[in-house]
Chains A and B, each alone.
Chain A
């Protein structure tokens, strides 16, 4: 159940723009640039592979344990804001839109383009070069559908963003931040 209550304390609950939280045990490889937005969280053992091109991760996005973002030879990877790349997921996409979730052990192939507010369900695959429109849900062994609720209700999108900010806040207190180690 999702609460759709309009939260009065919405603005006060927002922290001022903060640094991203990078775990000490996150792995960064490659010689290309890695940009990580404010409030983003890179969990321990998450891997960012900037060998084939730049990797850009937007604000308030999360990269979970053993998730892999980036390519060896496929070019740049751009992850939008409020994105969740769950445990063990592999994302080699060209771009991932805002608010999208790639669930546990899902695979997004090279130079695929994921729209905004998409969802790739656990263990699902998005093939290389595929383009997913906004609000697409990939589920049930390759089925696609449009998430009508999120598409038609702006308040639900706002709620999801708010929930993501809260989640990021909580988790940032739990992961020791070693962003200084990686800063250039």
Chain B
């Protein structure tokens, strides 16, 4: 992670459903009950899945129709514009597919690099016309790949006989088609085994499109667990033979043996060999070693870049829309989550408590100030909840001294805030000015630190309060990386039980079964999961039905809850 400690991350609420389904598969509880339980379950920032659900607040968008946070997994992207990355020329959508370009001169054509003088003649490629280059390349390529696969039929025969491991002489295209057909057959068989595979099988299409799928979903949610006994879910298997699309490394050299390649390199020189970047540019070139000759790198069309519109996947509301004109990087619409949900900022209350190495000392209490800022124009009632010990291998104790408070409404703009603070400072004490400065990110830390030396944080009381921000104190006792033997043995015992009980144990726990945690380990980072619940009365003018609210009377009342993770720092040994 490139962030500097401390930083905050937010788990998109959409991922909670996924983790519920996932853990339901692991534990042998019946499905409907499990989903209920998992809503109450603590979010574990150290679990392998957490990587996929945690986002920086700035990367998230907010759907103001559904009133929820939206992450890359729950928005849909639509391509608005295609353009060339080098010249920024905008290509109309119709031309992208047709590769149209007015025909110019007659006669044979070649492609040539104006820099290094490589030409397509070096690879034996010559074009009849100057347009439809991709089509021509495809046509030129076909006879070559067929040539390569002349003994493909023989390979398949061997595979069916199950005699020897097949000799791989398949081209990229043959490999690809084998692998796709393999996965298609696998997914066709899979739904009978795995009730969730229906969602994985057709990401584009609706899960309810086919009647058989619908029937399966209905039986899944029908309240008769006895009728539908829990089946053991088998993971999808991978390709095992080359007929199924397995490719072995090192890739088979189409030229023959390595010695032949070395001999050729001696002849042509080092600089005529293809670099790794060139090979990785396109799958066709994965096995190409040279710039010249019949088996040289194949020309690959420049991939066009796109500008995309993002839509909410449930209500199709536009979340962000870039400017269509080239050269303008602004967005016409961008509903940033950080403008709709609370913003968090952490800073240590007393700086010297952190050791010089930047690592947190185990078992020594540190105090952090959490500044909660409200970007909304209405006052928000905030409830913070965190488990008393952090989940994961290292158990740190965390206490939020004031978990319930209300944050005032945000003003019209930054200018107003400055005026407010200035006016307040003339009437009240100078302490508040300095605190306001420190909270708004200015270099007010030292002044405020001096001012608060004598103040003791109290439970149930807000530390500081501004017009649209509130700061509360967090008391953190970092756990030890290598705790005494009792908790460790307890852990291993529980994992063994898990293994014997169900087919899938938690992979992370399996791996770290008996080893101790080092300072560089991911587990050594102190991450505090906090469930944030915000309640506020939205403006009466806001239209649309409120999806999230519970009370019938409060028409404008809104509520939003999400898991946020405060990453404090690394714990030292």
State whether these chains interact.
yes
| Chain A residues with a Cβ under 8 A of chain B | 1-6, 119, 121, 137, 139-140, 143-145, 147-150, 153
Q: Which of A1, A137, A139 contacts B109 (CB 8 A)?
A: A1
> A4 to chain B: which residues have CB within 8 Å?
107-110
Do the beta carbons of B115 and A121 come within 8 Å of each other? yes
Do the beta carbons of B116 and A1 come within 8 Å of each other? no
Does chain A have a CB within 8 A of B122? yes
Do the beta carbons of B116 and A2 come within 8 Å of each other? no
| Chain B residues with a Cβ under 8 A of chain A | 105-112, 115-117, 119, 121-122, 130, 269, 271-272, 291-292
Do the beta carbons of A3 and B271 come within 8 Å of each other? no
> A6 to chain B: which residues have CB within 8 Å?
107
Q: What are some 14 contacts across the A-B interface (CB < 8 A)?
A: A2-B109, A2-B119, A3-B109, A4-B110, A5-B105, A5-B106, A121-B116, A140-B271, A145-B116, A145-B271, A145-B291, A148-B121, A149-B121, A150-B117
Task: Assess A149 versus B107: contact at CB under 8 Å? Given A119-B117, A144-B271.
Answer: no
Task: Give the distance in Å from the alpha carbon of A149 to the alpha carbon of B269 in the complex.
Answer: 17
> A3 to chain B: which residues have CB within 8 Å?
105, 107, 109
Question: Nearest 7 pairs between A and B by C-beta?
Answer: A5-B107, A149-B119, A139-B116, A147-B117, A149-B121, A143-B271, A137-B117
> B119 to chain A: which residues have CB within 8 Å?
2, 149
> B121 to chain A: which residues have CB within 8 Å?
148-149, 153
Can you name the residue of chain A whose Cβ is closest to the Cβ of B119? A149
Task: Give the distance in Å from the alpha carbon of A145 to the alpha carbon of B269 in the complex.
Answer: 8
Do the beta carbons of B115 and A2 come within 8 Å of each other? no
Do the beta carbons of A140 and B116 come within 8 Å of each other? yes
> B130 to chain A: which residues have CB within 8 Å?
1
Do the beta carbons of B115 and A149 come within 8 Å of each other? no
Task: Assess A137 versus B116: contact at CB under 8 Å? Given A3-B105, A143-B271, A148-B122.
Answer: yes
Among B121, B122, B130, B272, residue most surrounded by chain A Cβ atoms (within 10 Å): B121
Q: What 11 new A-B contacts, CB under 8 Å, besides A5-B106, A119-B117, A145-B116? A: A1-B110, A1-B111, A3-B107, A4-B108, A5-B107, A140-B116, A140-B271, A149-B112, A149-B117, A149-B121, A153-B121
Do the beta carbons of B271 and A1 come within 8 Å of each other? no
Task: Give the distance in Å from the alpha carbon of A34 to the alpha carbon of B115 in the complex.
Answer: 31
The smallest C-beta distance from B352 to any residue of chain A, in angstroms, reads 50
Can you name the residue of chain A whose Cβ is closest to the Cβ of B292? A148
Can you name the residue of chain B whose Cβ is closest to the Cβ of A153? B121
Task: Give the distance in Å from the alpha carbon of A5 to the alpha carbon of B105 in the complex.
Answer: 8
Q: Which of A1, A5, A139 contacts B115 (CB 8 A)?
A: A139
Task: Give the distance in Å from the alpha carbon of A77 to the alpha carbon of B107 in the complex.
Answer: 40
Task: Give the distance in Å from the alpha carbon of A144 to the alpha carbon of B117 in the complex.
Answer: 11
> A144 to chain B: which residues have CB within 8 Å?
269, 271
> A149 to chain B: which residues have CB within 8 Å?
110, 112, 117, 119, 121-122
Can you name the residue of chain B whose Cβ is closest to the Cβ of A140? B116
Task: Give the distance in Å from the alpha carbon of A140 to the alpha carbon of B130 in the complex.
Answer: 28
> B112 to chain A: which residues have CB within 8 Å?
1-2, 149
Task: Give the distance in Å from the alpha carbon of A147 to the alpha carbon of B117 in the complex.
Answer: 6
Can you name the residue of chain A whose Cβ is closest to the Cβ of B105? A3
Task: Assess A2 versus B110: contact at CB under 8 Å? Given A119-B117, A137-B117.
Answer: yes
